[in-house]
């Protein structure tokens, strides 16, 4: 997928091709198209008939294999949750797969090293795409570091990260960093309009300017849940949010909505415009900036814990109990 707002970054990357670094770190906020950008570059590297405009041709055997997901010279390293398989209803409990891991494990990185030790099937490069790179646990990161320190000939590592600060400094230092910027609102809104997203400007604001995240937030059950939660907060019925929590996924949405609501309240109390559109512009806040910012910081920590609560409803009630009075 080619996003026009990343053309400048693409042009910068093409200038590196003649002296291609063995490792790239593509980083930026979630939902701006970093993975699609990295996949496009991986296809470009494996294309056997690149265009004069600096694009993969889309027609050669390498491109066809890449698009089909069967190119023998690329490996993706991602958490198991990215390839989740629902257990068959006929599977016996002992035959059903264990809960997918949200981390990249050392075994995956070792398998990658075995792949890179082989020669290229097509006589070109071999590409390792790691996403999200901060998903590596410590053992996996240290294992990857060994490959980055002594890269096999013809191997290119493409790391995609939403939070590069969570990577080992030694991993970051061995990559050429390519920061990706949040796109300007005009092309982002044009793209969202082409996807048929209603009220695109509102959802883009809620997503902090990240268009892919806005599209995900504004559609389907997730969008409906966010709408219900924001409506409850707007009408002063915050306590109803606990009743909307039936799963860990619901809890994660509550924590996100509350944090963005708290930040918008902090902006409003300081006389600034809301950033995420969870409250109307010009809406004041009787509680001070410091209280709302403190609550928002607490929610940042809570959001990291929402995947592991023993009781999602109780966790939601605890978050709401800490919310300042509006």
Where would I find the H helices in 56-208? 61-68, 106-116, 138-149, 169-173, 185-194, 200-206
**CA nearest 2: which of 35, 37, 38?**
37
Percent of the chain with pLDDT over 70: 92
Sign of the four-CA dihedral 119, 121, 124, 130: negative
* pTM of the model as a whole: 0.88
When the pLDDT of each residue in the chain is averaged and rounded to a whole number, the result is 90
Rounded average pLDDT over 9-24: 93
- Burial (CB < 10 A; 0-12, 13-18, 19+), residue 179, is exposed
**CA nearest 264: which of 274, 273, 255?**
274
Per residue in 148-158, pLDDT tens?
999 999 999 99
Residue 280 has pLDDT above 90, yes or no: no
**In what order do the strands lie in the sheet containing 155-161?**
74-77, 126-130, 155-161, 23-27, 176-179
Taking each helix axis as running N to C, give the angle between helix 289-305 and helix 312-321, from 0 to 180 degrees, rounded to the nearest 10. Answer: 170
Q: Rounded to whole angstroms, how far apart are CA atoms 222 and 234? A: 18
Q: Rounded to whole angstroms, how far apart are CA atoms 140 and 150? A: 16
Per residue in 110-148, pLDDT tens?
999 999 988 888 888 999 999 999 999 999 999 999 999
Per residue in 56-67, pLDDT tens?
999 999 999 999
């Amino acid at each position: 997928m080619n996003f026009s707002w990343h053309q400048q970054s693409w042009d910068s990357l093409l200038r590196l091709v003649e002296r291609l670094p063995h490792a790239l770190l593509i980083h930026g906020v979630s939902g701006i198209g970093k993975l699609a950008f990295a996949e496009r570059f991986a296809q470009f590297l494996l294309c056997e008939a690149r265009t004069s405009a600096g694009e993969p041709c889309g027609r050669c055997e390498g491109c066809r294999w890449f698009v089909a997901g069967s190119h023998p010279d690329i490996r993706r390293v991602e958490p198991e949750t990215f390839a989740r398989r629902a257990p068959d209803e006929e599977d016996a409990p002992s035959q059903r797969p264990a809960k997918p891991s949200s981390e990249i494990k050392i075994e995956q990185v070792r398998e990658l090293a075995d792949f890179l030790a082989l020669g290229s099937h097509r006589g070109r490069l071999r590409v390792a795409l790691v996403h999200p790179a901060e998903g590596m646990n410590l053992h996996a990161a240290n294992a990857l570091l060994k490959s980055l320190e002594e890269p096999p000939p013809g191997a290119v590592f493409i790391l995609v990260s939403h939070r590069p600060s969570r990577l080992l400094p030694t991993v970051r230092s061995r990559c050429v960093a390519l920061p990706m910027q949040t796109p300007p609102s005009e092309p982002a809104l044009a793209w969202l309009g082409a996807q048929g997203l209603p009220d695109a400007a509102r959802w883009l604001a809620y997503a902090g300017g990240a268009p892919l995240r806005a599209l995900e937030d504004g559609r389907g059950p997730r969008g409906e849940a966010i709408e219900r939660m924001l409506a409850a907060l707007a009408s002063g019925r915050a306590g109803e949010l606990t009743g909307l929590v039936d799963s860990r996924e619901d809890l994660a949405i509550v924590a996100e909505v509350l944090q963005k609501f708290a930040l918008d309240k902090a902006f409003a109390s300081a006389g600034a415009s809301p950033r995420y559109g969870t409250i109307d512009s010009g809406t004041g806040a009787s509680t001070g900036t410091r209280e709302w910012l403190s609550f928002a910081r607490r929610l940042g920590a809570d959001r990291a814990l929402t995947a592991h609560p023993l009781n999602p409803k109780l966790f939601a009630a605890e978050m709401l109990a800490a919310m300042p009075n509006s």
